[in-house]
Structure 1
């Protein structure tokens, strides 16, 4: 019997001693970092809300309790009972029963009403039907990415379960070395923008943190060939941790699976979905530019399948000698400062990823309060003594002034911005300005991937800034659902209709004003009579990355080096880009 099997037997024995004598525990397994307890008495666990917490504290494990398949009520009967328990106001849109694990996935417009106060409704569901409920949010804006990811994971449940069991046994394997040291190896992104990648090594473990490309620099990838990384083979990596989804941190993660990696990726749930969106777009752009993609969509699916989502604040075993905790980084949706606790109090390392220290309209500022940190690896974009960032309030006022001037002239405002993060920040500025009368109410057309990225934001409001989250949850006001926002998804004809129509704002990718649809709007105007005002998100000195990270998602200055002047032209916004204009990925950070 292996050490892990012996460990599981001991855990099962301890659990049996802790639970009431008449409660039957049939099996105990590791699934990833979690300990899964199977029982013939799930209703007893549900009836005692503190029992699982006491077991987790006693065993120092993350515990999930599932019913033994022999005690499950038939799905047809269970569905009616579940619907009876859940309030109608919760807006249940789907129930999906998984007999292999005894779980029922409940998709609802208001998950909080399915959960109930301190999980009371969830416990009532288990007490009624025996099934273990899992709750997910129905996206307020329909998202093909969220739908596809959830559907894919549903079809791959059996293989994913095998992956989780294998990962769980790997995490809890026997330690083989008594040595004590920690080493950080930089594979990119130091003294440059892009190709973020680090290796955290101990005598037992190798963990890769991020694996991105270098924007605008073809062929420059992280130094994955070094012995600490893939030089010893992809199987030598124990885990991959992704701080956030921007391509300079995530683009090459699927490449690892092409080279044989078969382990876990730890990240937050929204980052998982955004990674899928942006890496698939990365492949599309490569194909449009006539370049051979570094991997295929099958490897993107592999990355999604191997992802283990974690929530902020959850302390999680990811190796025999390493615990991982995510904290809010304030950069984009789901971005995380990653804190590693090595050994039994031996050493603590935190990687900031990309951060925004202050609150923005979208997110709370980055967490910087840790119990212990011996080494902090901190991003330093705009950290130089001569770096200067325009005040956000000044930037917003300048933007509103440009919009009012352009509207009065009968024109259209084109704002190029990254699909993820900055676009949503601008949407909040525009929604508030129209609601308060600071700018006229007019259509805001969302082009490119902005609508899809916004839909993902609406799926995970718990990751947004406190006051914005409260506005959505408690006041039932979601600014992203404002009637002014319109998705342009009908191709060139619909864009031509926008070009020929009345005054409006066009929010379009890419924020670098290079290629993509936004560049058409920046270098052309809609008609001879129409003035187009374009505010660039980040571009400066024709170089990717120079001035491209405004310490998070701060809205840039719409004047000077980061703004294009209002222009007049006979060309149309919907016209094709000029020859040689490259397409540009929309997910840069």
Structure 2
């Protein structure tokens, strides 16, 4: 009998001794980080709301209780009983029964009403029918990404269970080494922005945090070939942890499966869906530009299949000597500060990913409340001594003034926008300003991936700012469903209609004017003197957006799919700062200042050379802590 089997036997004995005599325990399994308990008495388990909580506390494990398949009622009978328990206003749209695990997936417009106060309705469902309910939200805006991911995982359910059981055995294996140390190796994004990747190493475990590309620098990928990473073989990686879905952090995650990786990817649920959306688009763009992509869509599917979604605040075993906790990073939907607890109190490391410290319209500000952090790996995108952003309120006023002036003159406002994050932030500003009468109510046309990304945001309102979430949850006032928002899905014909029409606002990808539908909009309305192009996001050096910002009014169009040589840009060009998803210099300083206790060491990463060195120096002088501005391929040993 293996060590894992012996451990499961011991756990089963403990559970049997803890539960009342009339509750049977037929099997106990690991599925990823969770302990799954099968019972022939699911109704009795459900009748005691504290029993699972007490077991989880005793065993220090996340526990799921499932019915033994032998005792399940027929789905047709269970369906009727379940629907009689759930309030009609919950808006149940689908029930999907899985006899192999005894689970029923309930899709509803208002999941909170299916769950009930402190899970009371879920327990009532199990008490009535024995099946274990799992609840998902019906997207208020239909999302092909969410639908495709859910359908794919449903099709792969059996294989996914095998994957999770194998991962569970890996997590709960016996420790083999008596040594105690922690190492971090930098594989990318040091003294540069992009290709984020780090290895966290102990004598027992090797974890990769992020694996992104470098925007505008084809071929510059993380140093995955070194012995600390995949040089010793992809199978030597125990886990991958993804902080968020932006491509400079996620683009090359599917590549790992091409190299033979077959382990878990820990991320939040919205990060999983957005990673699928953005990496498939990454392949599509590469194909359209005649580049050979580094992987194909089958590897994207493998990555999704291996994702283990975690919620903020859940402490999760991911290796025998490693616990992981995600905290809100305030950057984009599902973005996470990742906290690692190494050993039995040995050491604690946090990776910020990308953070926004203050609240925005979309998100609560980044969380920095950890019991302990000895070393913090901190992004420094705007860490330079002069990187202070405009106050968001002032930025919003500037944007509204531009819209008032342009639309009053009969013009159109064209806003190049990133599909994830900034577009939704701008949508909230526009919806409120029109509702309050601060700007004229005109159509707002959304082009490119913006509508799909917005649909994913509405699927996961629990990850949004408190008051925005409450509007969507309780007040039935989803601002993303406002009448003025129009999804451009009719291609060139619809764009021409908009161009021929009256004043309006157009949000379109790509955000840096490097291809995509924004080029078509320039072609349609770029020559209109009454119209205004308004930049609200970062324009990287060398991009067409950056050149337009700096005064270019002759736009090369010949390589951009419309057969024209150049376009004379007559529209006004404005830039509105303050909508960034990154903390500025003050926000980064405040993030560290308000940590209690503060870390002993800070590694400043994900910024150009001057930014990381400026921030590193400032943190050292202000807080008297050891700080570093590492280069790529450096290894730091702690303990």
Question: Taking structure 2 as the reference length, what is the TM-score of the superposition?
Answer: 0.86
Q: Over residues 155-209 of structure 1, what are the superposed CA-to-partner deviations in whole Å (9 max), with x where a residue is unaligned?
A: 0000000000000000000110000000000000010000000000000000000
Deviation at 1:566, TM superposition (A): 12
TM alignment of 1:330-341, pairs within 5 A: 330-341=330-341
User: Structure 2: how far apart are the matches of 1:223 and 1:575?
Assistant: 34
The match for 1:526 is 525
Query: What secondary structure sits across from 1:231 in the alignment?
Result: coil
Q: Over residues 240-284 of structure 1, what are the superposed CA-to-partner deviations in whole Å (9 max), with x where a residue is unaligned?
A: 000000000000000000000000000000000000000000000
The match for 1:551 is none
The match for 1:537 is 536
Deviation at 1:532, TM superposition (A): 2.2
The match for 1:381 is 381
The match for 2:416 is 416
Distance 1:201 1:563, change over 3 A: same
Task: Return 124-133 or 532-541, whichever deviates more.
Answer: 532-541
Q: Over residues 47-102 of structure 1, what are the superposed CA-to-partner deviations in whole Å (9 max), with x where a residue is unaligned?
A: 00000000000000000000000000001111111111111100000000000000
Structure 1 residue 509 corresponds to structure 2 residue 495? no
Distance 1:399 1:481, change over 3 A: same
Distance 1:352 1:443, change over 3 A: same
The match for 2:302 is 302
Answer whether contact 2:234 2:261 (CA < 8 A) is retained: yes
Answer whether contact 1:540 1:562 (CA < 8 A) is retained: no
Distance 1:579 1:130, change over 3 A: farther
User: Structure 1: how far apart are the matches of 2:50 and 2:301?
Assistant: 38
Q: Over residues 431-480 of structure 1, what are the superposed CA-to-partner deviations in whole Å (9 max), with x where a residue is unaligned?
A: 01000001000110000000000000000000000111112122221100
Distance 1:490 1:541, change over 3 A: closer
Deviation at 1:331, TM superposition (A): 0.1
The match for 2:595 is none
The match for 1:468 is 468
Give the aligned CA root-mean-square deviation in angstroms. 2.2
Task: Return 489-498 or 350-359, whichever deviates more.
Answer: 489-498
Structure 1 residue 67 corresponds to structure 2 residue 67? yes
The match for 1:584 is none
User: Structure 2: how far apart are the matches of 1:500 and 1:224?
Assistant: 51
Deviation at 1:22, TM superposition (A): 1.4
Answer whether contact 2:514 2:545 (CA < 8 A) is retained: no
The match for 1:9 is 9
Structure 1 residue 576 corresponds to structure 2 residue 559? no
User: Structure 2: how far apart are the matches of 1:267 and 1:529?
Assistant: 45
User: Structure 2: how far apart are the matches of 1:166 and 1:107?
Assistant: 28
The match for 1:558 is none
State the structure with bigger RCO (CA 8 A, min sep 6), 1 or 2: 2
Q: Which runs of 5+ in 1 are unaligned?
A: 548-560, 582-587
The match for 2:279 is 279
Count of matched residue pairs: 566
Answer whether contact 1:238 1:263 (CA < 8 A) is retained: yes
The match for 1:191 is 191
Structure 1 residue 202 corresponds to structure 2 residue 202? yes
Answer whether contact 1:416 1:510 (CA < 8 A) is retained: yes
TM alignment of 1:319-338, pairs within 5 A: 319-338=319-338
Query: What secondary structure sits across from 1:415 in the alignment?
Result: strand
User: Structure 1: how far apart are the matches of 2:396 and 2:520?
Assistant: 24
Deviation at 1:542, TM superposition (A): 3.1
Q: Over residues 107-134 of structure 1, what are the superposed CA-to-partner deviations in whole Å (9 max), with x where a residue is unaligned?
A: 0000011011111111111011000000
Q: Over residues 307-350 of structure 1, what are the superposed CA-to-partner deviations in whole Å (9 max), with x where a residue is unaligned?
A: 00000000000000000000000000000000000000000000
Q: Over residues 278-320 of structure 1, what are the superposed CA-to-partner deviations in whole Å (9 max), with x where a residue is unaligned?
A: 0000000000010001000000000000000000000000000
Distance 1:305 1:541, change over 3 A: closer
TM alignment of 1:325-474, pairs within 5 A: 325-474=325-474
Query: What secondary structure sits across from 1:97 in the alignment?
Result: strand
Answer whether contact 1:338 1:351 (CA < 8 A) is retained: yes
The match for 2:481 is 481
The match for 1:84 is 84
Query: What secondary structure sits across from 1:65 in the alignment?
Result: strand
The match for 2:247 is 247
User: Structure 2: how far apart are the matches of 1:134 and 1:370?
Assistant: 30
User: Structure 2: how far apart are the matches of 1:417 and 1:114?
Assistant: 36
User: Structure 1: how far apart are the matches of 2:306 and 2:495?
Assistant: 39
Answer whether contact 2:416 2:510 (CA < 8 A) is retained: yes
Answer whether contact 1:245 1:272 (CA < 8 A) is retained: yes
The match for 1:292 is 292
Q: Which runs of 5+ in 2 are unaligned?
A: 568-580, 583-639
Distance 1:485 1:468, change over 3 A: same
User: Structure 2: how far apart are the matches of 1:16 and 1:579?
Assistant: 76
TM alignment of 1:117-266, pairs within 5 A: 117-266=117-266
The match for 1:41 is 41
Distance 1:372 1:410, change over 3 A: same
Answer whether contact 2:331 2:355 (CA < 8 A) is retained: yes
